[in-house]
Amino acid sequence: GNSVTQMEGPVTLSEEAFLTINCTYTATGYPSLFWYVQYPGEGLQLLLKATKADDKGSNKGFEATYRKETTSFHLEKGSVQVSDSAVYFCALSEASGTYKYIFGTGTRLKVLA
């Protein structure tokens, strides 16, 4: 079946460091890919998305590129801030059926001042 694999956390970085959170997927067809962010005690907020191969999603300095050849959608940010501390979820929307979302396990990011 379809699945999403994320790198284990927590990831601890100093402010202004470069961030990469790895995400790979297994899916039939051509799923859409998403990154969601969850701040403590809050719900899921869409961070960015990409719907086809080579698309780059970007928002608030975060970027991710849909790589079909490596089945990856790694999240990057050039300079993290303390306010970026949260849990980040990679997800795919299945390419058929009910188009439900499959989520990764989440990666907790902690940014230190």
Partner 1 sequence: EPEVTQTPSHQVTQMGQEVILRCVPISNHLYFYWYRQILGQKVEFLVSFYNNEISEKSEIFDDQFSVERPDGSNFTLKIRSTKLEDSAMYFCASSLGQVRINEQFFGPGTRLTVL
Site for partner 1, rule CB under 8 A: 30-32, 34, 36, 42-46, 49, 51, 89, 91, 93-95, 97-106
Q: Three-class SS of residue 84?
A: helix
Decide whether 60 or 78 has the Cβ nearer to partner 1: 60
Q: Calculate the CA 98 to chain-centre distance.
A: 21
Q: Could you tell me the smallest distance in angstroms from the CB atom of residue 56 to partner 1? A: 15
Decide whether 3 or 20 has the Cβ nearer to partner 1: 3
Decide whether 13 or 101 has the Cβ nearer to partner 1: 101
DSSP letters spanning 21-33: E-EEEE-SS--EE
CB 87 within 8 A of CB 109: yes
